[in-house]
Structures are given as structure tokens and as C-alpha cells.
Amino acid sequence: MAVFEKRDIFDIIIVGGGLAGLSLANLLAAQNFSTACVDISDPKLAMTTGFDGRTTAISWASRKVLDAANIWNDLIPHANPIDEIQIMDGDSPTLLTFDKEEVDNRNFGWIIENHLIRKALYTQARKTENLTLFAPESVQDFSIGKQHAKAILKNGRVLQAPLIIGADGRNSFTREWMGISTRGWSYKQQAIVCNVVHENPHNNIAIENFREQGPFAVLPMTNDEQGRNRSSVVWTEHAVNKNSSALNYDDTVFNAALNARFPDFYGEVELTGQRFSFPLGLKHAHNYIAPRMALVAEAAHAMHPIAGQGLNMGFRDIAKLADLLIAAREDGVDLGSNALLHSYQSARRMDNMGMMAATDGLNKLFGSRLPGIGMARLLGVRAVSGFAPAKQFFMKQAMGAAGVLPQLLKDAS
């Protein structure tokens, strides 16, 4: 692969080279689609922890997408399994536990640092001849014809393909150009993300603690180069008063606050590296498609991270679209046909809407301190814990194996 290769006609053009866009680009290229991916970020910067210090929970099903993109084997040494999930409510004892032994001994997923996923995606892209990466570069306009679509780059280059896919995030230029409106709201919360080291092993346990200002999640990571036990923290707080934000605590105060929130079995906990913050909100596109154009991942839907399913739902978009494109090529059908696009939208929009409603409801339910709500939460969680089919359903959701799966993900169920 060569950046700015002198070729302008492709099978697929993808706008956005984040985790979703570049995963799709590598996956389609592996299926012998000539693919262009345009991304505004400089690859050298995008692979650093300073660019994105977050981790991602890759579900059991989503690893199939990364495997199809030819990067999963490279990520295995950096992927820490989730064998158990503990659900807590504030300072109360653990309310609910999901254990891999209850789902055929398959773990619920893996925690991987975002910059390492990006690095693997870029490395694979460079090795793939039928994938051309234009980065750092941006699209300034599109042109849609009867038989093809064009992306006009800022540098004047014009790319052409039967289909353009927007994977350019929640503030998608592609979606805006398509004239697609969105529905959503701010949660008036922000997520503070950081990595910590701790005295004792995490035992591959993920913690989801629903606190008054929002969920406090602890996600198990692989040990650092010094062999220290590590976890990733997603600390949700109200975003009203920046002066009182934990983001601005000095390290001593921040570490004390962390230790107060961590379960005792971790031992002493200490911040390592930077803290990052991200505003939280919900946004859902009214349509995912327009003539010869489609949206995937956060360009189509952005949700609260409370269940860790944002990227995993994006990967379900990717898998379904890939299924349809592979079938269309086998049948000799136009890759940008209206029938294909409507099949994609009908398969994905309601599934995403259901997950968004669930995460929105969970955030509001567990964030409420109205009289009686706490008891209702407790009774509800106990009901799930004591009713095996309900518990199996939620564990399947955590694994990304619930609902109607795209063909690419089928054996994940």
C-alpha cells in the first residue's frame, strides 16, 4: 500500500480512519475489494497514547471483525480477557455477578488500549496492496451520480466508487453532507479516563459501579512493561462545575479518591499516565443511508459508555455491511444499489436503537436518587440474578452475541 497512490477508482471509499473506519477498510480489502480510506488524522500521532488514552472492550463477537481485518493475532498479547463482571450500586456490596463459567467458559470480551488497536490497523493497512490510505487528508465535497459517487479531497484529488461509507464519528461531515438530521441530547456528564496500577491482581474482573454522578468502571488490562498490575478507569461525573471536577484534582487527591472507590481486593491503587475527559451524550441519525452512501458506527449512532457497547455496535454495522457487499459482488449486483442500502439500514437501525434505549435507561435508572428508586433497583437486580434466562440474556448482550447477528459474527453466538 502506498499513500497517495496514483489510482482514483475504487470499489469502496471510506471516510474516517478511526477504529471503526480502518477496521472496515482492512476487512473489505482482505475480501479483495479495492478500498480507499480517507482520514484527517496523522497516523504517527494517532498511534500514541497522547492522542487517545482510552481502552476499548472488544466483545466476544467483535473479535471476529478484527480477525477478518487480519489484526486479531497481533492484538492477542495486548488483550486482557474479562472473565467476570461485578455490578455494584454505590457503596453497597456487589449486587450481581456475571461469570464466564455460566456461558460455556467463554470470556465476555477483552480490554485493549485504543492506540494499540490503531497501530495494528495501520500496520496491516500498509501491508495490504488493495487498500489505499489517504492521511492526513480530508474530504471537502461529494458528488453523486447514477452509477458512481465521488469524494473530492482537500488536496484536489477526486476519488470514485460505487459506494461511499461515512465512518467519521459523531460529528460526521459525511452525515451532514447527506442532509441527515439526528436526535439526541447531552447527559451533562463527562467521562474521565485514565489507567492505574494496583497492588494486587485484578483476576480478569471488570467492575461497573453505579454511583450518584454516573457509573464508575474498572476494566482489567494486561500488565505494564514493569510487570505491574493495571486497570483502566472510566469515571463518570456531572459536567456542571469544571472547578470541582476530579479531572483537576492534584495526583494525591485523585489517588485518594480512586482508592475510596475501588473494591478492597485491588489493594493500593495509583494513577499512571495522563487523565483524559470526554463529554457524554446520545446522538442517533434518522437515516443511515442516502443514494450511494451509508453511515456506520458513531457517524450513525453515539451512546453512553455505561455498557461498553459503543464500538461493538459499530462493529455489528461493519459486519452486516460487509456481508451485504460480499453477497452483492457474488451476485453481480451494484455495490451501491438502493436495495443493498435499504437492507443494511433495516438490519441495523432498530438493533442500535434498542441498545441506545437500554444504555440511556440504565444511566437514568442508576443515576436517580429519588425515593424508592434504590429499592426498585435492588429488587430488579436480584430478580435478574435469580432468574437464569434473564441472566443469560444479559450475559449474551455483554458478549455481543444476542439478537440477530450478521453472518460474519454468527459463530459468536
State percent of the chain over pLDDT 70: 87
Q: Given this model, what pLDDT does residue 362 score?
A: 75
| Range 12-80+112-184+283-379 classified under CATH 3.50.50.60 | yes
CB-count burial class (<10 Å; 0-12, 13-18, 19+) for 324: buried
Q: What is the mean pLDDT of residues 327-347?
A: 98
Higher pLDDT pick, 330 / 367:
330
234: enclosing H helix or E strand: strand 229-238
What is the C-alpha end-to-end distance of the chain, expressed in Å? 35
Average pLDDT over the chain reads 89
pLDDT higher than 60, residue 384: no
Peptide bond into 162 cis (omega under 30): no
* DSSP character string of 87-126: EEETTSPP-EEEEGGGTTT--SEEEEEHHHHHHHHHHHHH
pLDDT tens track for 184-207: 999 999 999 999 999 999 999 999
State the DSSP code for 18.
S
What is the pTM assigned to this prediction?
0.91
pLDDT tens track for 110-164: 999 999 999 999 999 999 989 999 999 999 999 999 999 999 999 999 999 999 9
Q: Given this model, what pLDDT does residue 199 score?
A: 98
Q: Please, are residues 13 and 161 in contact by the beta-carbon 8 Å criterion?
A: yes
Q: Is the four-CA dihedral 316, 319, 325, 331 of positive or negative sign?
A: negative
pLDDT higher than 90, residue 412: no
Q: Given this model, what pLDDT does residue 175 score?
A: 99
